[in-house]
Amino acid sequence: MRTDTLTSPLAVAGIALRTNNLEAAETIPPQWGAFFDGGGVTQIPHRLGDDVVAVYTAFANEGENNDGDYTFVIGCIVPEGSAPPQGLATVTVPASDRLVFPVAAGRPDLVGEAWQQIWARTDLAKTFVADFERYSAEGDIEISIGVRPQQ
């Protein structure tokens, strides 16, 4: 784990799904399939690279916890203010303090387990505003969660 600061908002355009943690095992894997069946990164115009980003945001209990529904968007980073193409959505991860958890390169099958470990930690001052997974074109995987600034 490392600390990081997102100094400016991060806009991500992609396909959106409203889901929750009780349904995620059934709803999120098909969403990944739909992203790649729809052309993957090539369906995102004006993308700033070929990294794939999966954002969890618009939590029903924003600021409190990840219980309830949230919006899940799989896509690419785009310039802030970019209008998404028809059928796609844009979400913004606000500038924020973050904790970044690496996942073994090339092992997206370990992401769910990594999330379970993060959720189990009660020592993290999570914001529950916008968290994301970043899959680099080179195979690196990271989970980035928003945290409250240290007092």
How big is the CA angle at 126 (ends 123 and 130), to the nearest 5 degrees?
Answer: 155
pLDDT digit string (tens) for the chain, length 151 residues: 999 999 999 999 999 999 999 999 999 999 999 999 999 999 999 999 999 999 999 999 999 999 999 999 999 999 999 888 889 999 999 999 999 999 999 999 999 999 999 999 999 999 999 999 999 999 999 999 999 987 5
Q: Pull the structure tokens for residue 54.
A: 């999966």
Q: Judge contact between 53 and 35, C-beta under 8 A.
A: no
Fold of 2-147: Multidrug-efflux Transporter 1 Regulator Bmrr; Chain A (3.20.80)
Q: What is the DSSP string of 75-126?
A: EEEE-TTPPPPTT-EEEEEPSEEEEEEEE-TT-GGGHHHHHHHHHH-SSS-B
